[in-house]
Amino acid sequence: MSLARVDWRAVLDRLPAWHALSLPARETALTLPPGDPVPLPRLGERGAELETASLVRAVDRGSRVEVASPFRPLLAALRRMKRSQVFERPGRAALERYLAQQLSVRELRELVAGRPGAGHELRRLVASRASSRSWVGGLLAPEGSDAAARAADGGSGPPLPADSRVVLECRRLVGGLVAAGEPVPAVELAAEHPDRDLLAAALSAGLARLWFLAGLTPDGRLPVVGIYPPALERIRRPRAGRPRPLEVERPYRSALLLDEMTTVLVAAVADPPRLTRSGSRLFARARRELEEALAPLPAPVARLLESSRADRVERAVLALSQLGYVESRGRPGEDLRLAATAAGEEWLAEDPKTRLQALLDLLRASRRDVPGGGGFLKETIRFLPRRTRRDLQLFGLELEGPLVEAYASLEPGQFVQLTAFLRHRAEEENPLAVLGAARRGGRAARGPLTDEQLERLWAEVLYDFFAERLFALGGAAVAVVEGDRLAFGVTDAGRYLLGLADDFEWQEDGGEIVVQPDFEVIFLAPSPPAEAALGRFARRRQKGRDFGSLFHITRDSIFAAAAGGLTAERVLATLDRLSSKPVPGNVRRQIEEWFARCRRVAAEPATLLRCPDRDTALLLLAAGGGALEPLGETVVAVRGKRLPAALKRKLRAAGIFVEPASG
């Protein structure tokens, strides 16, 4: 018999007698099977006390004893409670054990609206839900509230009892248990209750629905009733308040994705990295070189993003490919390379702000909640990150608006702790519940989602957008506060991305960058935007993890920049703007000279016509006209891989026969 099916009226009536027993007598009594006689000696020294309390009576001429019938419901209930350790060692395993002991599969299934599944699956599902705040949320919710409506609508809690008096009594009981903050002795519940029948009914109903559980105190063997501790903790936890604004020092801002894309694209222009035979991946060495060229991240940021250098290269290649800025070029299996397209070179030639704005505009345009937005763009460059779209596609909800609203709640320049922000928005401003995500998600998954699941989901949506969009594109600045906690604020670029501004400021931070006469550029403090700007014409030399990162201006890096469309004037203007000291004269002069040495040469296929002597070459030129170009005294060229048939005929008519070269 499960605890819910015990005769709780009988149990309540006999509880004072149980409390009056000594602990050893209670221990002895708990060893007695309620319906089966046992030999008298088994009671040992406690036999007399138990007999006096009328808990046992002698049978078989006094050789054996059995539990007196008025005490049998109590003993049955206590023995079941004894097996439960759900208050002593709360945890998922203890709860599942409790469920296995107390509820049948049929009863479990009723708790989850008849969902199919084997016993262990149902136990896992019920344990998960019963651990939630929302399991009793519907019961406690005031009439007319969202939670009450969700409970009535078959939300995440169990079905309510049919008898409204029992419902009210359950609510009173649960309310008292929440207020108590710990399991309450059952005898206290009964002590002053005016209607023990109603209390008994409420106990049965509440235990059957797992609103509360029953167990024995380990030291006194006294029955207690309480809410499952993890759920109680969640219910009692203060709600997350609005995050308080913080003063921060040295906020760190970076358009990481821009920097990564720039790094890859610079390589694709200057020395296209090799691709594997299939063209789908970079060769390990090429990838490693790109990884080494990426900007190092400060440790807190690296921890925040949890993405490896390899991930960052992959992300950049994907973004560039999808934007049509790079393509695989060459012969598959022989020398396939990731090369920049004309559009890529054009983008690369822009200043950092224009490049960033191009990306932000694409994202803004992909918003589904903006007229004319969305649709045509592929994965990487959509407003919502891929995981968000994957996780929430089942819901079919418009999330862009609420997401923008969440970040728009921060004033410009205001910094708040990231986790406090996420928790507040998830707990107090969670649009998923309002939008009916619990039920929509529930239909596709295993039943309605709990409050905690909805909160986690929304926090993840907000976090992914923060990490993959706002921070990656310079839309958020971060700072370490209170030891190792991360605070953030939405930047101008972030507000632009969110559609809260029509333009944004984007300047590389100068002031702590030094261009040295030996062509090195040293960062005395991190400045990712400046690193992104320098990455176009200087080679990163990995040094340290956080500070002092260093670039080297070399002939090759300048040639690569020139190939990508940069000019000496623009490079020097960037250096002048960034460097806190005047750019050394030798560096300035050398950069100008390197640029001056760059030439563009057009390559085109041509067919060479080798003549035996100068006269023949002259005849050839006379016959061929403008299509032919003399390359020397006896060599004439014609554009194209083959001699045009018409020209061949024309020459033949002039008595000049073109034959394939021997060998």
Of the pair 85, 590, the CB lying nearest other proteins is at 590
**Of 95, 96, 98, nearest in space to 4 by CA:** 98
Q: What is the binding site for other proteins (CB under 8 A)?
A: 514, 516-520, 522, 524-525, 543-548, 555, 581, 584-586, 589-590, 593, 597
**Vertex 476 angle, CA 471 and 481, to 5°:** 105
Of the pair 418, 521, the CB lying nearest other proteins is at 521
Do 108 and 122 meet the contact criterion of CB atoms below 8 Å apart? yes
Residue count of the chain: 663
The helix, strand and coil proportions of the chain, stated in percent and rounded to the nearest 5, come to: 50, 10, 35
Q: Which helix (H) or strand (E) holds 78?
A: helix 72-83
Of the pair 283, 547, the CB lying nearest other proteins is at 547
Please, is 370 exposed, middle or buried when counting C-beta atoms within 10 Å of its C-beta (0-12, 13-18, 19+)? Answer: middle
Of the pair 358, 525, the CB lying nearest other proteins is at 525
| Cα–Cα distance measured from residue 454 to residue 635, given in angstroms and rounded to the nearest whole number | 78
**Distances, alpha carbon 386 to alpha carbons 393, 408, 423, 473, in Å:** 10, 22, 22, 16
**Vertex 293 angle, CA 302 and 492, to 5°:** 55
Q: Which residues pair with 441 in a beta bridge?
A: none
**Of 385, 430, 388, nearest in space to 406 by CA:** 430
Minimum distance from CB of 577 to other proteins (Å)? 17
| Cα–Cα distance measured from residue 168 to residue 182, given in angstroms and rounded to the nearest whole number | 21
Of the pair 52, 580, the CB lying nearest other proteins is at 580
Q: Read off φ and ψ for residue 69, nearest 5 degrees.
A: -60, -35
Minimum distance from CB of 506 to other proteins (Å)? 24
Q: Which helix (H) or strand (E) holds 214?
A: strand 213-216
Q: Which helix (H) or strand (E) holds 522?
A: strand 520-523
Do 183 and 226 meet the contact criterion of CB atoms below 8 Å apart? yes
Of the pair 411, 593, the CB lying nearest other proteins is at 593
Tokens of 21: 């027993």
Tokens of 607: 């067919």
Of the pair 105, 525, the CB lying nearest other proteins is at 525
Of the pair 147, 583, the CB lying nearest other proteins is at 583
Minimum distance from CB of 492 to other proteins (Å)? 25
Q: Which residues pair with 541 in a beta bridge?
A: 550
Minimum distance from CB of 485 to other proteins (Å)? 17
Minimum distance from CB of 548 to other proteins (Å)? 4
Please, is 584 exposed, middle or buried when counting C-beta atoms within 10 Å of its C-beta (0-12, 13-18, 19+)? Answer: middle
Tokens of 109: 């299934």
Minimum distance from CB of 442 to other proteins (Å)? 48
Minimum distance from CB of 547 to other proteins (Å)? 5
Of the pair 522, 606, the CB lying nearest other proteins is at 522
Minimum distance from CB of 580 to other proteins (Å)? 9
Minimum distance from CB of 536 to other proteins (Å)? 22
Minimum distance from CB of 584 to other proteins (Å)? 7
Tokens of 279: 């063209």
